[in-house]
Amino acid sequence: MDFFFEFLPMVVFASSLFVYMVVLFFMKWSINWNSRMMDATCMDPNNDEGWGSELYLENDATWVVCDGSNYNADNGDWNGYCTPWGLSCTGYDTTEEKCSLNFGGSGDGCQPPNLITTLINIALSPSAVDEPMYNGQKGIQGFLLFLALVSVPVLLVAKPYFLSKEMEKNRGHGDDDEEDEGDGFGEILIHQAIETIEFVLGMVSNTASYLRLWALSLAHSELATVFWEKALLSTLNMNFFATYLGFGIFAGTTMGVLLMMDVLECFLHALRLHWVEFQNKFFKADGIRFAPYSFKAILSEANIS
């Protein structure tokens, strides 16, 4: 019963939202965005060096020279530029109009999405995907959201319901027994409601907590850029002595801030996340003493029996 009405709904809820987000991360990394963005770029077929580039892989990597017959007149007149797939550009065309993938939204598949915003919009705006990565993304995300919403009431109600049916079969004829059974079912229902609330809120809050590591990586990147530009890059065009001092400042701040303070900060955050967010998935605090797995104990019990 725990497997079908607790474990499986939890897996469905987690997979529909958060495992799907991990899949989107890997999908975004694997897509050739240079080719897709080029698909929605207007270029001059006669004078642009990028025309005919081997980086373009969409539409069988075929370049089509436009003739000015298929532009949107509402955006103005044809300016002589074309997209790689043959759309005549006016200079006022949107990405959705210039992209040939037709995945929907303003990006239409030619613009890399912000995945954090994509995950939030699965719940807040399920009827639209502004920056899709694949065809049919809106329908798949709607179905996954439906599975996540259905798994919550199943997790909340199914186990207490079937336990109550089992209690009715085993119930005695005395009033005291009926009262005890009723109290037992009430406790199960309350316990299940607490478990459901903790799981749903915990999945969201724990995932948001892990995003702090992503925020730290962004801060690390920005600090590295600032140190490089202000300490070293700005002194390269000066004299030798200024460059020498700039390199010293850059090396010192890199070692002290990026390699020591930031690494320690990331380690402490990761340790805290592992202890608080990760360990609570396995620790119930039910008053049962922890017993580590031991072959010696198992063999001893087997010999005694």
Distance CA 110, CA 102 (A): 9
Whether pTM exceeds 0.75: no
At 210-251, the pLDDT tens digits run 777 777 778 888 888 888 888 888 888 888 888 889 899 888
User: What number is the average pLDDT over the span 151-159?
Assistant: 91
At 52-79, the pLDDT tens digits run 889 899 999 999 988 877 777 777 778 8
How sure is the predictor about 123, in pLDDT bands with cuts at 50, 70 and 90? Answer: confident
Listed in sequence order, the DSSP H helices in the chain are 2, 8-14, 20-30, 33-39, 95-98, 115-124, 137-153, 159-170, 175-227, 240-253, 262-273, 295-304
User: Between 15 and 180, whose confidence is greater?
Assistant: 15
User: Between 283 and 49, whose confidence is greater?
Assistant: 49
- Give me the chain's average pLDDT, please: 84
Distance of CA 206 to the CA centre of its chain: 13
Q: Which residues contact 207 (CB under 8 A, 6 or more apart)?
A: 18
Decide if pLDDT at 145 tops 90. Answer: yes
Distance CA 207, CA 185 (A): 33
Distance CA 211, CA 21 (A): 12
Neighbours of 254 (CB within 10 A): 17
Give the lowest-confidence range in 132-146, 174-188, 190-204, 243-257: 174-188
Identify residue 195 by its one-letter amino acid code: E
Q: What is the pLDDT of residue 30?
A: 95
How sure is the predictor about 103, in pLDDT bands with cuts at 50, 70 and 90? Answer: very high
Q: What is the pLDDT of residue 2?
A: 82
At 287-300, the pLDDT tens digits run 778 778 888 888 88
Burial of residue 139, with CB atoms counted within 10 A of its CB: 0-12 exposed, 13-18 middle, 19 or more buried: exposed
Q: What is the pLDDT of residue 90?
A: 86
